[in-house]
Amino acid sequence: MAKVITFGEIMLRLAPPGYQRFLQSPSFEATFGGGEANVAVSLSRFGAKAAFVTKLPKNAIGDAAVGELRRQGVCTDLIVRGGDRVGIYYCEKGASQRAGKVVYDRKHSSIAEAQSADFDWNKIFDGAEWFHFTGITPALSPAASAACAAACAEAKKRGMTVSCDLNYRKNLWTPADADKGMRPLMRFVDYLIANEEDAEKVFGVKAEGTDVSTGRISRAGYENVAKKLIADFGCKGVAITLRESHSASDNGWGGMLFTDGGSCFSKTYQVRIVDRVGGGDSFAAALIYALMDERGPQAAIELAAAASCLKHSIEGDFNLIGLDEAEALAAGSGSGRVQR
Amino acid sequence: MAKVITFGEIMLRLAPPGYQRFLQSPSFEATFGGGEANVAVSLSRFGAKAAFVTKLPKNAIGDAAVGELRRQGVCTDLIVRGGDRVGIYYCEKGASQRAGKVVYDRKHSSIAEAQSADFDWNKIFDGAEWFHFTGITPALSPAASAACAAACAEAKKRGMTVSCDLNYRKNLWTPADADKGMRPLMRFVDYLIANEEDAEKVFGVKAEGTDVSTGRISRAGYENVAKKLIADFGCKGVAITLRESHSASDNGWGGMLFTDGGSCFSKTYQVRIVDRVGGGDSFAAALIYALMDERGPQAAIELAAAASCLKHSIEGDFNLIGLDEAEALAAGSGSGRVQR
Amino acid sequence: MAKVITFGEIMLRLAPPGYQRFLQSPSFEATFGGGEANVAVSLSRFGAKAAFVTKLPKNAIGDAAVGELRRQGVCTDLIVRGGDRVGIYYCEKGASQRAGKVVYDRKHSSIAEAQSADFDWNKIFDGAEWFHFTGITPALSPAASAACAAACAEAKKRGMTVSCDLNYRKNLWTPADADKGMRPLMRFVDYLIANEEDAEKVFGVKAEGTDVSTGRISRAGYENVAKKLIADFGCKGVAITLRESHSASDNGWGGMLFTDGGSCFSKTYQVRIVDRVGGGDSFAAALIYALMDERGPQAAIELAAAASCLKHSIEGDFNLIGLDEAEALAAGSGSGRVQR
Amino acid sequence: MAKVITFGEIMLRLAPPGYQRFLQSPSFEATFGGGEANVAVSLSRFGAKAAFVTKLPKNAIGDAAVGELRRQGVCTDLIVRGGDRVGIYYCEKGASQRAGKVVYDRKHSSIAEAQSADFDWNKIFDGAEWFHFTGITPALSPAASAACAAACAEAKKRGMTVSCDLNYRKNLWTPADADKGMRPLMRFVDYLIANEEDAEKVFGVKAEGTDVSTGRISRAGYENVAKKLIADFGCKGVAITLRESHSASDNGWGGMLFTDGGSCFSKTYQVRIVDRVGGGDSFAAALIYALMDERGPQAAIELAAAASCLKHSIEGDFNLIGLDEAEALAAGSGSGRVQR
Amino acid sequence: MAKVITFGEIMLRLAPPGYQRFLQSPSFEATFGGGEANVAVSLSRFGAKAAFVTKLPKNAIGDAAVGELRRQGVCTDLIVRGGDRVGIYYCEKGASQRAGKVVYDRKHSSIAEAQSADFDWNKIFDGAEWFHFTGITPALSPAASAACAAACAEAKKRGMTVSCDLNYRKNLWTPADADKGMRPLMRFVDYLIANEEDAEKVFGVKAEGTDVSTGRISRAGYENVAKKLIADFGCKGVAITLRESHSASDNGWGGMLFTDGGSCFSKTYQVRIVDRVGGGDSFAAALIYALMDERGPQAAIELAAAASCLKHSIEGDFNLIGLDEAEALAAGSGSGRVQR
Amino acid sequence: MAKVITFGEIMLRLAPPGYQRFLQSPSFEATFGGGEANVAVSLSRFGAKAAFVTKLPKNAIGDAAVGELRRQGVCTDLIVRGGDRVGIYYCEKGASQRAGKVVYDRKHSSIAEAQSADFDWNKIFDGAEWFHFTGITPALSPAASAACAAACAEAKKRGMTVSCDLNYRKNLWTPADADKGMRPLMRFVDYLIANEEDAEKVFGVKAEGTDVSTGRISRAGYENVAKKLIADFGCKGVAITLRESHSASDNGWGGMLFTDGGSCFSKTYQVRIVDRVGGGDSFAAALIYALMDERGPQAAIELAAAASCLKHSIEGDFNLIGLDEAEALAAGSGSGRVQR
């Protein structure tokens, strides 16, 4: 299987222990994560050759980010070193009716201030077949947006497949800015991935019959969203994660993949949440893996849903599972019996 | 908003990590809590000026208790220093069918051995509008009971509003002693607060149609309890928390406020419990806040129920939320979606 | 109450913190456990005089295992010291759809390489009334299997009651080997204990109408399993735990005891799982306790089901509860209300 | 080797992690310790049969104390259960010029409020050869003092050897009270043990030429102290630990044993301190062990000094070493090379 | 005693546990610190009324910083809320020959981007007597430098005493920039405080005969430095900390205060280092305290040296000691004996 | 710089927290280490391309070992997967007079049971210039010894430089067996590395005038040892680490490199020990680096001594420093001043 490139930000993630609130006690769990890095990690763990492209400062924190990616098998040779800081996000787990909370401190990070010229696209895309980015990267800064556009164009020029996860973040930009930032990139995108509210937030394409705040989901509504996005942007496929938010502890979870063959819906899982951050990224990664592996749309959406269902049981941003575990769940083994 | 005084005990709370039993491993999480202190912390976090009155020894443990209250914004200037020890309670979390467990080691604490004369009521009540105490303080010792009675009388003399949370504790006194201890204080009380079994345990006023051990709750039963309490004691209002104890992990939760306008019931929440200790205190505090803020009985009970619902998702005695979070939940946002 | 002997392996259990995967962070919770040791601990905590017989190396890790058993009140005077190593099992908690995972590193442990001659059966069984072993011990090695057979014969010779928990472990032997290893021991066994799939895995006796992977359980099917086992092996009684595996977080749990008086089924509990390892051992121990205490079959199965239901809320292998707690749950108190 | 009885208090020890001050972070390391319990643990670890006699409440904290003693091999069968609470001491480690700090919360503990009649001396001393107590027990309360005197008399009546560690604690009583409390017990004492300032504090017998606050020690001065104590009280031997307090991190350490054969001084060790609490107890225990084992005075004081030197490198009250380690150090192996 | 104002930055301090390197394991101890905040904390703990002035963002991390200051008794009413982020410093402990390491991530913090107009100097200095700042604040940004100059001018205008700790940081500015930034502020400064190399780094005033890299210190050299600074800037006094850096684990420590009465040198302490960060701040604070308390120069320098000597034994930035502890050490009690 | 191959074992290292003894509390720090892996990590961190060759089981623990090596930049592509288990060593830190302690549980590990045929030497040595092994590998098992001999022969055949660290382990084999195992390998060795007692233990070549148990070192004695080894085995150089074991907390440390140019001794460092395990490996790695970089013997021994001096301040087996830090210390900067 060939090389996938993901491009974006990896941040230091600072999380209080267990269900504590920020700095309730003087300690943070300190790991790394970020939408595009998470996808690279998942792909690498599944056996794909994945490289993550970003810019990180030449200091001990940047070194640690590189080391952690390397530990997960991600190629870090294409990471540019320089700039001032590693972006940070403070991440507090929700529970029951209390929502999880994220405080971003990612402005002025090395990647947010990186220029397109920092990246040697020839070297980066040499031998690569798939390029993945998310809506977070263009939201970081005008420079990051420009670099992202350049990456898309370069990838497309080389005939690579391009996927994009809309990943709308209200703390980074407004819907209006998101529309302005994302729309021009859509012409490069073969596979568009979104969660249950991204399309509405970014492009104003609403799923009728759905109320995300109550967790009520309409399948037909999402089929129409996909059709509209394909009509507007000419993508080959649109994949949407379908989260039913019962509470911060319990969610329904599944996904839809819409291609020219129509819609395929995955099973719906009722998940008891350990950590839901990175759920969408693990979905995107497994979908990309299955598509590269030409498994067919139904198999692809089942693998994506199963992998990302399991992500909800894993601490941290990275989906620390193996392909075998995702496949077993997709095949029906969700009883959680101890394997010994 | 004006000053609230709460009077009682703050204890060192020693809890094993996670779901471990006492001293299963050689470590305790060491925080502070106690009914009346918890109320002061909630009020202060909501923006009210709250002072907590107690007696604490002049040693490093007493200093730490004061520091922690100060961290939460509670005024500690009225705390008397002296006596022998900070009371302790060992607190083990329950899970599933296993009940939580509390071992008290609070005898001979500075506040239990404090005399009414230790407190300068003129200074304490200067400028204050509301006085809150709970049934724990009179249960500590005859001296504490006398000091509590003195505080009530002094508060009433100054025209302050007085609230009392019955907070019956079977490890501190018998129902008979509780009745004898609490009944004389009732004439000072404007707002009487209780959980679903306090009124029965302390005053023998049973909610017909309810079985607290199974979690079955009768609304009409509690309306009658409130009517009876108002008839007996002449309170302005009676508020009762309604807990449906399905297990140590899952509870139903809501509340009723009964005033001369009749009964108002809050929504019922199904809570996945992180830590239920302090649930009643957070209810009382939010209710006091809403009443002081003249929000009307339905809004008051909804705020109280929402704030205390959220408390169940917070580690420790203190309800470490903001007013905005309680208001958002009362307004309907309980899906627990990550805020980022 | 008289002395119970259990014989088998105690291992070092290395578990990542919380819901982390193996070595996600560089730390292990390090406790001890193993089927037969767990039974001895439960019995001792309930007030029975229990001794655990095994072989442990003369080093600091072996010393720690002995110390931990002693802490739980288990008699360790009969443990033989020598050999090379303490067996290890790495244990990862499951959550939601993700199954728990055990990696065994128990080959070449002192007990696996022990010889029957290492044990002085006269001394071991002096004054003992009950002997318990599980299907794990014969699976360890031919030598352990021989020692186990010798123990059974010696116990039976002295007129003791013998119980056996089938405890099939697919990582230790195949069903065929298990059949060959266990069948000859059955003639010594008075009470045979099994989980919902052991009888099928070891002896090919399937419970019709049950699908353990989905959690669907047929009571009639298990009655037939018990009848068949009694017919084949001449046991006095067969007890089977009935687990409904909804997910790694939520299970249904109960048990059946089949004796010449017919079948008794316990209540079924819906458990929110903290740690399910050792659930079967805590069931066996409580059953043995009740049978020794001549409580009658219905009371026995209720105590066994309640004790083991509570085990699911306890971290680690040992069921750190008291007899009073199991009895209270068996009597109906499962609301999980804080005791204070 | 025969049975040793120690009598006194075991407390819950609450210590902040590392070099933190009390409650600098919300966590305590929670272990158990107390002069006489520490001696019993040391003796048991050296292979002697040691029983610890005290009174502990019937609750989970009392249970944990018993379990911990049992883990260390101490016989707990003679412990009386009842009373209100386990005594507590908060223990903060010193470093460099900052002194360690202890806050006692041990009043009203079960043993402090125990009566002599609580203890069945016949059962306790059955088969015992040596009785050990310290000056802490009589300081707890008049009742504890009376029980201690009764124990001494009963032990003496049975011809047992009695040892006493003066262990003066300024937070428990004044020198005048200590003199009054300890002097009557001296007639029972065969071996009197003290640290470098106890004799002066309790009996006013000063070591000339020594300034404990600077760490300057005069050997001749301590010989005279021992002579005086023997002359006054008729003991067989006096042992004194000689601590040179350079700082909270670095101490000189050694000991003297004075018998009718004159004085024997141990080597002096320069210790880098991990935890010095329990240093004197480990000295007393090793001395008792050596005397029971009839090793001769020089060997005895060397073993005592070596064992207690090693205690300074161990976290917690208990001296978690083996006899072999103390003997090796006494024999000269203090280079600290890794053993692998 | 009257009110002291300190002005500057408080940062989140992220430190790996123990002696680990950055992110060696995925955890940070998360506390708060910063030169001027540290001084306010020390003063408050000594009993002075101290307020800290800064700008912090309106988010949970800013709230936590305010809470922590409040816990230490510092007045936080004058803190301005707004801006983007709390500055961070990553702090790795040194040991033996390995130097401690700090990675700054403090650019773009709220205080670095604050404008002088953000601060209401009339309100801030109302009733204040002493103003303290350090060389870090002007180094943050031109705006912070301007605000600092404004504060100095406003303080001076009101007749307050002004103290400044040079606190040169090579990671924030060059010596040339430091000279340019600090020189204009010197005319406001009554007491100038520096470490053993600040004067040389900032103003090029070298202490002859001293080599800070080897720890060799010349007293005469520092007297000349002080004379030169007083001559140049007209300060009333110059205080210099004298650190002998033997290694990251062991330092010599003392100080000099030079006033019109000549030089006073403190005792020199040999310190075993727990955490040396904040050593200079604790020195400045104790000096300010002593000067405000009019204790005379020798007493002042002894208190400052003793307080800051003790700081080296405390984890974190804040000097969590009491005035009594500093006074006791200054009076000679440095043997580190446990207080019990 | 070209590729270095190291061959041997990487183990799971289980260490109690801080200075605790094994299982004093139920927790292990779980990292990885082993002589040859440690050398590969050091080389990689210094910038050399290093690959580690071993055999590890196909399970989660083996995966974690691979991931950790990858995190440190070591090439893991040549690691063979298979066999039963990852070897373990339990590692307890010493302090003061208490020696560190290692309990090996490494028998039957995948590498101990590996066959030479498991390794494809052509692939392994393709493009490599230097081969390093230690005396531990041949001590593991006859098969490992044979594989090690094969590796040496293959490396030599390709003209590579071969280095060997004698690394005598008394828990693995006797001196007689070590002599028999190591002597035949010596003809392949260009650079022989040893600690202050290895040559005596393995080959009976004693350094006259040295007593390693007291820490007294004779330089002339070690020159003679080197001469003798060169004479016997024909090595190009012999390097010996010179440890003066004052205690488990404090050591002197330095090294000697003897080549045809005579002896070069490094500076001697007095180290305050954080963790001394891996000290020799870090010495070997830095020496290899310097020799490959042709820095000359004095520079080489100074780099090796400085790097390994710093290792003593680092937790765990790996020397987590950069080349710049070793060079700075070698150049004289050992004052440990905080870098900020």
Distance (Å, rounded) from C-alpha B205 to C-alpha B228? 8
Tens digit of each residue's pLDDT (9 = 90 or more) over C83-97: 999 999 999 999 999
Distance (Å, rounded) from C-alpha C312 to C-alpha C319? 8
Q: For residue A193, which of A158, A236, A146, A248 has the smallest C-alpha distance?
A: A236
Q: For residue B39, which of B18, B61, B54, B58 has the smallest C-alpha distance?
A: B54
**Strands (E) located in A173-274:** 191-194, 237-245, 250-259, 262-265, 269-272
Q: Which residue stretches of chain E are H helix?
A: 35-46, 60-71, 121-125, 136-140, 142-157, 175-182, 198-203, 219-233, 279-292, 297-311, 323-330
For residue F35, give the H/E element and its range.
helix F35-46
Q: Which tops the pLDDT comparison, C335 or D137?
A: D137
Through-space distance between the first and last CA atoms of chain E, rounded to whole angstroms: 32
Interface contact flag, B14 D28, Cβ < 8 Å: yes
Which domains, from first to last, does chain A contain? 3-326 (3.40.1190.20)
Interface contact flag, F245 D337, Cβ < 8 Å: yes
Distance (Å, rounded) from C-alpha F48 to C-alpha F1? 6
Distance (Å, rounded) from C-alpha A39 to C-alpha A5? 10
Mean pLDDT of C300-314: 98
Interface contact flag, E27 C26, Cβ < 8 Å: no
Tens digit of each residue's pLDDT (9 = 90 or more) over E16-70: 999 999 999 999 999 999 999 999 999 999 999 999 999 999 999 999 999 999 9
Distance (Å, rounded) from C-alpha D36 to C-alpha D133? 6
Provide the phi-psi class of A244: left if phi over 0, else alpha when psi is between -120 and 50, else beta: beta
What torsion, rounded to 10 degrees, do the Cα atoms C267, C272, C276, C280 define? 0
Q: Give C 10-39 residues with CB within 8 A of chain D.
A: none
Chain C residues within an 8 Å CB radius of D68: 71
CA distance B67 to chain E (A): 4
C-alpha F162: how far from chain center: 14
Mean pLDDT of E97-110: 97
For residue C65, give the chain D residue with the closest CA. D71
CA distance C12 to chain F (A): 10
Q: Which residue has the tokens 């066959």?
A: F115
CA atoms within 13 A on the CB side of C229: 37
pLDDT surpasses 70 at A213: no
Distance (Å, rounded) from C-alpha F156 to C-alpha B28? 59
Q: Which chains are within 8 Å of B by 3+ CB pairs?
A: A, C, D, E, F
- CB atoms inside a 10 Å sphere around CB D208: 10
Reported ipTM: the value is 0.95
For residue F21, give the chain C residue with the closest CA. C60
Q: What is the DSSP string of C183-206?
A: GGGGGG-SEEEE-TTHHHHHH---
Q: Which among E71, E72, E325 is the top mutation candidate for probing chain B, defined by the most B β-carbons within 10 Å of its own β-carbon?
A: E71
> What's the DSSP call for residue E118?
G
Q: Which chains are within 8 Å of E by 3+ CB pairs?
A: A, B, C, D, F
Q: Which chains are within 8 Å of F by 3+ CB pairs?
A: A, B, C, D, E
Count interface pairs A-E at CB distance under 8 A. 73
Total residue length of chain B: 340
Q: What is the pLDDT of residue F216?
A: 74
Q: What is the pLDDT of residue F213?
A: 67
Q: What six digits make up the tokens of A248?
A: 């911060």
Interface contact flag, C96 A335, Cβ < 8 Å: no
Distance (Å, rounded) from C-alpha D337 to C-alpha D142? 49
Q: What is the pLDDT of residue A1?
A: 44
Tens digit of each residue's pLDDT (9 = 90 or more) over A72-108: 999 999 999 999 999 999 999 999 999 999 999 999 9
Tens digit of each residue's pLDDT (9 = 90 or more) over D48-81: 999 999 999 999 999 999 999 999 999 999 999 9
Tens digit of each residue's pLDDT (9 = 90 or more) over A127-175: 999 999 999 999 999 999 999 999 999 999 999 999 999 999 998 999 9
pLDDT surpasses 70 at C213: no
For residue C24, give the chain E residue with the closest CA. E26
CA distance C24 to chain E (A): 9
Q: Which residue stretches of chain D are H helix?
A: 35-46, 60-71, 121-125, 136-140, 142-157, 175-182, 198-203, 219-233, 279-292, 297-311, 323-330
Interface contact flag, F90 C61, Cβ < 8 Å: yes
Contact indicator for A86, A62 with CB cutoff of 8 Å: yes
Tens digit of each residue's pLDDT (9 = 90 or more) over B157-201: 999 999 999 999 998 999 999 999 999 999 999 999 999 899 999
- Phi, psi at residue A22, to the nearest 5°? -50, 125
Contact indicator for C310, C325 with CB cutoff of 8 Å: yes
> What are residue C80's DSSP bridge partners?
C55
CA distance C115 to chain E (A): 43
Helix axes B297-311, B323-330, angle to 10 degrees: 110
Distance (Å, rounded) from C-alpha B134 to C-alpha B139? 9
The answer to whether B249 contacts chain A (CB < 8 Å) is no
Least confident of B114-128, B267-281, E325-339, F39-53: E325-339
For residue E110, give the chain A residue with the closest CA. A105
Q: Which chains are within 8 Å of A by 3+ CB pairs?
A: B, C, D, E, F
Tens digit of each residue's pLDDT (9 = 90 or more) over F291-328: 999 999 999 999 999 999 999 999 999 999 999 999 99
Tens digit of each residue's pLDDT (9 = 90 or more) over E115-171: 999 999 999 999 999 999 999 999 999 999 999 999 999 999 999 999 999 999 999
Contact indicator for C290, C304 with CB cutoff of 8 Å: yes
Count interface pairs E-F at CB distance under 8 A. 90
Contact indicator for D310, D322 with CB cutoff of 8 Å: no
Name the band, by pLDDT with cuts 50, 70 and 90, for residue A335. confident
Interface contact flag, F28 C21, Cβ < 8 Å: no
Q: For residue F33, which of F86, F110, F93, F84 has the smallest C-alpha distance?
A: F86
Q: What is the pLDDT of residue E1?
A: 43
Chain A residues within an 8 Å CB radius of E88: 88, 105
Tens digit of each residue's pLDDT (9 = 90 or more) over E208-258: 887 766 667 788 999 999 999 999 999 999 999 999 999 999 999 999 999
Q: What is the pLDDT of residue D1?
A: 44
Q: Which among B46, B71, B72, B77 is the top mutation candidate for probing chain E, defined by the most E β-carbons within 10 Å of its own β-carbon?
A: B71
The answer to whether E250 contacts chain F (CB < 8 Å) is yes
Total residue length of chain D: 340
Smallest Cβ distance to F73: which of A68, A70, A73?
A: A70
Mean pLDDT of B194-211: 90
For residue E69, give the chain B residue with the closest CA. B71
The answer to whether C99 contacts chain F (CB < 8 Å) is no
Does residue E215 sit in helix, strand or coil? coil
Chain D residues within an 8 Å CB radius of B105: 61, 84-86, 88
Tens digit of each residue's pLDDT (9 = 90 or more) over E71-86: 999 999 999 999 999 9
> Which residue ranges of chain F lie beneath pLDDT 70?
1-2, 212-215
Interface contact flag, B310 A97, Cβ < 8 Å: yes
Chain E residues within an 8 Å CB radius of F317: none
Q: Which among A44, A49, A70, A72 is the top mutation candidate for probing chain F, defined by the most F β-carbons within 10 Å of its own β-carbon?
A: A70
Chain F residues within an 8 Å CB radius of A68: 71
Does residue F129 sit in helix, strand or coil? strand
Q: In whole numbers, what is the pLDDT of chain B averaged over residues?
A: 95
Q: Which tops the pLDDT comparison, B64 or C213?
A: B64
Q: What is the pLDDT of residue C211?
A: 76
Distance (Å, rounded) from C-alpha D204 to C-alpha D335? 39
Q: Which tops the pLDDT comparison, C66 or D210?
A: C66
Through-space distance between the first and last CA atoms of chain A, rounded to whole angstroms: 32
Q: In whole numbers, what is the pLDDT of chain C averaged over residues?
A: 95
For residue E279, give the chain F residue with the closest CA. F338
Q: What is the pLDDT of residue F1?
A: 44
Q: What six digits make up the tokens of D279?
A: 């240093």
Count interface pairs A-C at CB distance under 8 A. 91
Chain C residues within an 8 Å CB radius of A332: 213
For residue F27, give the chain B residue with the closest CA. B25
